[in-house]
């Protein structure tokens, strides 16, 4: 009697990546459904924080790891040859247009943990020379964006990365194959991806936590395979 074929590691990776795809897609559709119900009304700061913690960040975590797994599973990618930039035709000054805003990019490095203290650092405080003199009063450039604006930018980057996961993985496969990336991988992949999954809100179901733990393990295995 013929024995049924045993599942291979590639089958396990494909199944895991499909689980990650469905998980991220479900969270994206959930967020998009919230925006549809708002019907154009602005997103409140409170709702933006809630969606950030309970939907956007878990989706980013899963997608980030899935892209690393894809990159490790791809064959070595050739480095693209750089072509000299074409000389742009001269334009009259009257027709000069402002450059288009650069779309937000999906962050592949895991964000660093913030300190629990809510106090601003000395560099973030306004500078006043003496009472009554506001000549040196200026807003610090390091103040964060409003939560709703930050959420919108990260959601846009998540949409683009989800729709272009394979091109992103190919780009990272080229980086991981380079000499510099091998040196970084030997020092530890935790600079980009911590060895343990980050803490998630209690509302995230245990199945999702298990999925992210498994994605983390496979992503680190991929780093180890590409660091030789």
**Over the stretch 191-220, which tens digit does the pLDDT of each residue have?**
567 777 778 888 889 999 999 999 998 888
pLDDT of residue 195: 74
Per-residue pLDDT tens, the chain, 228 aa: give them.
Answer: 455 555 676 788 899 999 999 999 999 999 999 999 999 899 999 999 999 999 999 999 999 999 999 988 887 666 656 665 666 555 555 545 555 667 688 988 887 665 544 444 444 444 434 444 444 444 444 445 789 999 999 999 999 999 999 999 998 888 776 655 555 555 544 456 777 777 888 888 999 999 999 999 888 887 664 444
What DSSP letter does each residue of 23-66 carry, written as one string? HHHHHHHHHHHHHHHHTTPPPPHHHHHHHIIIIIHHHHHHHHHH
pLDDT of residue 40: 87
Instruction: Report d(CA 69, CA 110) in Å as an integer.
Output: 15
pLDDT of residue 85: 61
Q: How far is CA 83 from CA 72, 80, 167, 173, in A?
A: 27, 9, 20, 21
pLDDT of residue 117: 46
Instruction: Report d(CA 9, CA 97) in Å as an integer.
Output: 53
Domain ranges of the chain: 1-77+146-228
pLDDT of residue 156: 94
How many other C-beta atoms can be found within 10 angstroms of the C-beta atom of residue 162?
19
Model pTM score: 0.71
Instruction: Report d(CA 212, CA 123) in Å as an integer.
Output: 36
């Amino acid at each position: 009697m013929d024995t049924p074929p045993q599942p291979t590691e590639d089958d396990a990776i494909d199944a895991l990546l499909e689980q990650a795809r469905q998980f991220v897609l479900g969270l994206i559709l959930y967020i998009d459904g919230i925006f549809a119900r708002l019907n154009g009304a602005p997103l409140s700061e409170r709702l933006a924080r809630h969606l950030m913690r309970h939907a956007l960040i878990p989706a980013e975590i899963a997608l980030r790891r899935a892209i690393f797994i894809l990159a490790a599973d791809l064959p070595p990618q050739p480095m693209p040859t750089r072509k000299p930039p074409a000389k742009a035709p001269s334009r009259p000054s009257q027709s000069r247009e402002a450059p288009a805003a650069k779309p937000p990019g999906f962050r592949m490095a895991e964000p660093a943990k913030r300190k629990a203290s809510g106090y601003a650092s000395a560099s973030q405080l306004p500078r006043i020379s003496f009472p009554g003199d506001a000549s040196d009063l200026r807003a610090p450039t390091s103040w964060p964006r409003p939560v709703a604006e930050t959420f919108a930018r990260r959601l846009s980057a998540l949409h683009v990365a989800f729709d272009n996961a394979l091109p992103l993985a190919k780009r990272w496969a080229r980086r991981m194959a380079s000499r510099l990336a091998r040196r970084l991988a030997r020092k530890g992949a935790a600079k980009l991806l911590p060895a343990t999954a980050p803490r998630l809100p209690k509302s995230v179901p245990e199945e999702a936590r298990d999925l992210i733990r498994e994605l983390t393990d496979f992503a680190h295995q991929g780093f180890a395979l590409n660091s030789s």
